[in-house]
Amino acid sequence: MHIRLINPNTTASMTEKIGMAAHRVAANGTLISAVNPSDGPVSIESHYDEAYSAIGVLEEIRKGESDKVDAYIIACFGDPGLLAAREMTRAPVIGIAEAGFHMAGIISTRFSIVTTLMRTGIIAQHLLDQYGFSQHCRRIRAAEIPVLTLEEDPDAAFRLIVEECLRAKAEDNIGAIVLGCGGMADLTDRISQAIGLPVIEGVTAAVKLAEALVGLGIGTSKHGDLAFPIGKAFTGKFSHLSHQPMQ
């Protein structure tokens, strides 16, 4: 099977790192192709960044449909453009936040999230509410590092993330940690060993969920709100997006 891994920010080194983490857990016979949009924010740390990154996600879905990929992963913890992406394809589309929540909910009754900046914590809270996991998450925490610190100073990022995870373990009465950034995908095992708790990371969780769905022959439902978009004209710089009903 072919899984298209989309990093919605435009930092190629993070895309490569996320792709390598996905390759490490992929089953034999699973091809992972990691991509990022050419246009958009270099990191996603606000509602504003999220909104613009969703356009790039949808463009990558469009390319993936031409490449006939079997599943998509949106590798940003805000799951930007997830439902719109699902409208565009019959393939499964998995956001790393949703994947992380589901996986953590199976191995623990309560988990905490450790993300980059507390400013984006509300985005994770909205997703917990939307996906039905608000009762499972004890607290949303942040290492208070800009996303690109994960690229520019990974040792400092690791230390700050571990410190926050240890506070969560001591204070939150939890069974697991969910890492709140696609850029942390390469740190999972090291963090888990450092804190003595299971650590769920959304990219790797999403790879295994995608393999399961494709293996079961289950894709995005096209009945109801995730049916293909209604055909219509688009104007201005989006005029190239005008389309007949998709199928």
What residues make contact with ligand 5HY under the rule CB under 6 A? 9, 43-45, 76-78, 115-117, 120, 147, 181-183
Nearer residue to ligand 5HY within complex by CB, 118 or 218? 118
Residues 168 and 96: beta-carbon distance below 8 Å: no
Smallest separation, CB 184 to ligand 5HY (Å): 8
Q: Measured from the CB atom, is 45 or 211 closer to ligand 5HY? A: 45
Give least dist CB 119 to ligand 5HY, A: 8
- Shortest reach from residue 11's CB to ligand 5HY, in Å: 7
Rounded Cα distance between 43 and 151, Å, is 11
Give all strands of the β-sheet with 137-142 in edge-to-edge order.
137-142, 111-115, 176-180, 199-201
Query: Looking at beta carbons only, is 121 or 219 nearer to ligand 5HY?
Result: 121
Locus of tokens 């004209």: 233
Tell me the C-alpha to C-alpha distance, in Å, between residue 35 and each of 73, 82, 104, 163, 179: 10, 16, 26, 31, 21
> Based on CB atoms, which residue is closest to ligand 5HY, 103 or 181?
181
Between 204 and 214, name the residue whose CB sits nearer to ligand 5HY: 204
Nearer to ligand 5HY, 32 or 206 (CB): 206
- Output the smallest distance, CB 194 to ligand 5HY, in A: 21
E strands along the chain, which residues?
Answer: 2-6, 31-35, 71-74, 93-95, 111-115, 137-142, 176-180, 199-201
Quote the least distance from Cβ 50 to ligand 5HY, whole Å: 8
Comparison of 150 and 214: residue with beta carbon closer to ligand 5HY? 150
3-class state of residue 139 by DSSP: strand
Query: Which one-letter amino acid corresponds to residue 207?
Result: V
- Distances in whole angstroms, Cα of residue 144 to Cα of each of 15, 112, 182: 22, 15, 15
Q: How far is the CB of 182 from ligand 5HY (least distance, A)?
A: 4
- d(CA 19, CA 76) in angstroms, rounded, equals 13
Find the shortest distance in angstroms from Cβ 97 to ligand 5HY. Answer: 8
> Alpha carbon 182 to chain centroid distance?
6
